[in-house]
Amino acid sequence: MERVILHVDLDAFYASVEELRRPEIRGKPVVVCVYSGRTEDSGAVATSNYLARELGIKSGMPIAFAKRAAKGKDIVFLPVDMEHYREVSERIMNLLEEHADRFQQVSIDEAYLDVSDGCTGNYPCAEKIAQEIKGEIKEQEGITCSVGIGPNKYVSKMAGKRRKPDGLTVVRAEEVADFLKDLPAGKLHGIGGKTEEELNTLGIKTAADIAAYSLTSLEKEFGKNKAKLLHDKALGIDDSPVEQKDKQQLSRIATLKEDTDDTDKIFKKISELCSDMNKKLQNKIAFRTISLITIDTHLQTQTRSETIPEADDACSVLPSYRTLIDRFFSENPGKMLRRVGIRVSGLSYKDVKDKKEQKSLFDY
């Protein structure tokens, strides 16, 4: 079966999320930082939006250097808010998983989707899925993503890097060699600056140069394993699977028909989400914690949680969700909600004989 893999990368994720919840900073360079606390400017840049990147400010740069580059510019520096970013990421990753035959999240803002079962060698089919994903993320969260489509994980990731932000690039199996050949060696994912320098000293500048170089000669310079890795990258070879991993939590989220503070309408939507959640639980997964997720009209997210006796039926804990709804509004009078969601965590698997069967719970 010819594989078709999507790589989804959320564009300047932390900065995009901050722009969404702080409309006043949109259109400005935004830098999100991890402050060490030693001094006002100690720490490093976690990410920056594309306007800040045009000023030379990139992830990993010391904050002091970034502020020097920003001197005299109308630029915004913000601290990381990982809890909020994880909330947004979780919602998006749940959305992505719904489109995949097999799904692998590799970071807070990046994932692979194997759609081979439904789109065997059918790239228009995969492209349609990618467009649906991009539209849903934009509608649900207000941010963009870049998607690469290819015959394996490596090529799909390289394709996704071709057009950013908000890009979509398709590289079919027969197009891989042409797609990669003119790329500088250092632009191939996984090849660092030191290796690029070593390749350059051998007269190897591009992926095509690596591919044309004798594997035996590469082995003499880099050793057998690294030589094969370099050769495979230059040729776009990657047999690694999209690895479905066990979930630590499950969630469902939906947009209300209209902005509202009507607890009965909100509870009705929660009831629908609980029924949908049970399709995932299948009476085979139990949980110990439930959470109510609320997103108001200003796109501010809040979460209320409660630990319960172990349960395997989301609908059986509806009274607890009603309590969480009432608690939210008692603490936030006058708030209007746009979207609501539920989450179950503290998962345990019942009557599961082995790891393989455990993974299959999510393979549908």
Give yes or no for residue 309 having a pLDDT over 80.
yes
User: How high is the mean pLDDT of the chain?
Assistant: 91
| Whether residue 77 is found in the same domain as residue 105 | no
| Whether residue 73 is found in the same domain as residue 89 | no
Q: Could you tell me where the DSSP H helices lie in 192-348?
A: 193-201, 207-212, 215-222, 224-235, 263-281, 318-331
Separation CA 270–CA 296 (nearest Å) = 15
Q: In the chain, how many H helices and how many E strands?
A: 14, 13
| pTM of the entire predicted model | 0.76
The DSSP bridge pattern shows strands 145-150 and 168-170 to be parallel
Q: Identify the H or E element spanning 134.
A: helix 123-141
Among 135, 163, 137, smallest CA distance to 148 is for: 163
| Whether residue 209 is found in the same domain as residue 226 | yes
The answer to whether 321 and 290 have CB atoms below 8 angstroms apart is yes
| Whether residue 51 is found in the same domain as residue 96 | no
Report the CATH number at residue 29: 3.40.1170.60
Q: Which residues are the active-site residues?
A: 110
Domain boundaries, position 223: 182-235
Tens digits of residue pLDDT in 144-160: 999 999 999 999 999 99
| Whether residue 96 is found in the same domain as residue 149 | yes
Question: How many of the other CB atoms lie within 10 Å of CB of 14?
Answer: 26
> Given 36, 58, 82, which residue is the final one in a domain?
82
Tens digits of residue pLDDT in 340-361: 999 999 988 876 444 334 443 3
| Whether residue 285 is found in the same domain as residue 303 | yes
| Whether residue 230 is found in the same domain as residue 195 | yes
Token pair recorded at residue 339: 């979207």
φ, ψ of residue 175 in degrees (nearest 5): -100, -5
Q: What one-letter code names the amino acid at 95?
A: L
Tens digits of residue pLDDT in 205-226: 999 999 999 999 999 999 999 9
Separation CA 19–CA 252 (nearest Å) = 24
> Given 82, 101, 126, which residue is the final one in a domain?
82
Token pair recorded at residue 346: 């503290």
Q: What one-letter code names the amino acid at 89?
A: S
For 343, residues 6+ apart whose C-beta sits below 8 A from its C-beta are: 90, 249, 250, 251, 252, 290, 291, 293, 303, 305
Separation CA 227–CA 232 (nearest Å) = 9
Report the CATH number at residue 113: 3.30.70.270
Q: Which stretch of 36-40, 114-118, 334-338, 359-363 has the lowest confidence by average pLDDT?
A: 359-363
Confidence of residue 245 (pLDDT cuts 50, 70, 90): confident
Token pair recorded at residue 329: 């509004």
Tens digits of residue pLDDT in 157-175: 999 999 999 999 999 999 9
| Whether residue 168 is found in the same domain as residue 186 | no
Work out how many domains the chain is built from and give that number: 4
Give the model's pLDDT for residue 360. Answer: 38
Tens digits of residue pLDDT in 312-332: 999 999 999 999 999 999 999
φ, ψ of residue 233 in degrees (nearest 5): -65, -40
| Whether residue 157 is found in the same domain as residue 213 | no
Report the CATH number at residue 309: 3.30.1490.100
